[in-house]
Structure 1
Amino acid sequence: MPQTPADAPFTPLTKDTVASAFSYLRAVQAGDAQAAAKLVTAEPQMSAFLAGIAEGIVVAGTALPGPDDDAPTWDSFTLETLGNVFLSALRIWQQAGPDAAQGIAQTIIDFVTAILCEEHDDIADALNTYESCARGQLLLDARAASTAAYPVGNTAA
């Protein structure tokens, strides 16, 4: 069955693309149109990188509670479903290319501010936290890949 843009996986992120995407989010959040324009010009796939960043942020913020947490409520299922709809919309929107980057960035900022930040939280601090999480996930993914590439053999006879 062919994939639709909404089903297509996000563009894989690297340490550099994570840094670039978060720099762009910060420029948009600060209203620095000049810096944002330079970043999009330097990276034509910015829309795809932002959609990839959004996946980590949205999944972290909307996932159902784990087995050690309180039992999921109707609100939990609703929030997770809305997060998935939001990501699907971003996947479609990213197909527009570099022109969509500012809208995607502003939508991510609005999502973080409205859904994930408490009233007293600073969006800049939240972006720093999510960037650290994205970089940490890249490290975990790299370690898992290197472990899979060199499986430990069973020496028991």
Structure 2
Amino acid sequence: MSEEQLTSDIVKDNAARVMKKIDTQIPLYVKMYSDLYREYMRIIEDTFEAGHTLELAKTNKLPQNQLSKDIVEYNIRTYSNAVLMGLDMYGEYLKWYSDIRLAGMKSLDQAIHNCMSIAGMPIKRSTSNTPKSKTSLDTKKQTRTRRGRRKSA
């Protein structure tokens, strides 16, 4: 660290590094979910195709009574229910994981705000990490000016 470099510059540079890393990982997450979706679709199509092919090829060899059809339906429904349950559980896990990470980040943010308040230097809570547009700032200034005029009138 050079003597001229301010702490705020160091924080800014490292925050930019973290944000860049997060941004570079978004395509990875999209690709992972895309790959999962594609694989689910491939398996479902293969399963359907296999069942259809067997049914056509072995029509005269497969039992055609109602009990056999009920057993096949039961097995397929059981397999489908297991897959659906797995998807639901995985979705719940992802939600839990996201909630835990968000709670940790919010706790860190709260700790930073508390430390700054104790030091007598409170910082404003930001609702977004994106800068406000000039138009929205101008609108707020105009609204404040109008309110001031009404009070003085």
Query: With structure 2 as the length reference, what TM-score do the two structures score?
Result: 0.26
Larger Rg: 2
The structure carrying a bigger helix percent of its residues is 2
Using CA pairs below 8 Å that are at least 6 residues apart, which structure has the higher relative contact order?
A: 1
Query: With structure 1 as the length reference, what TM-score do the two structures score?
Result: 0.25
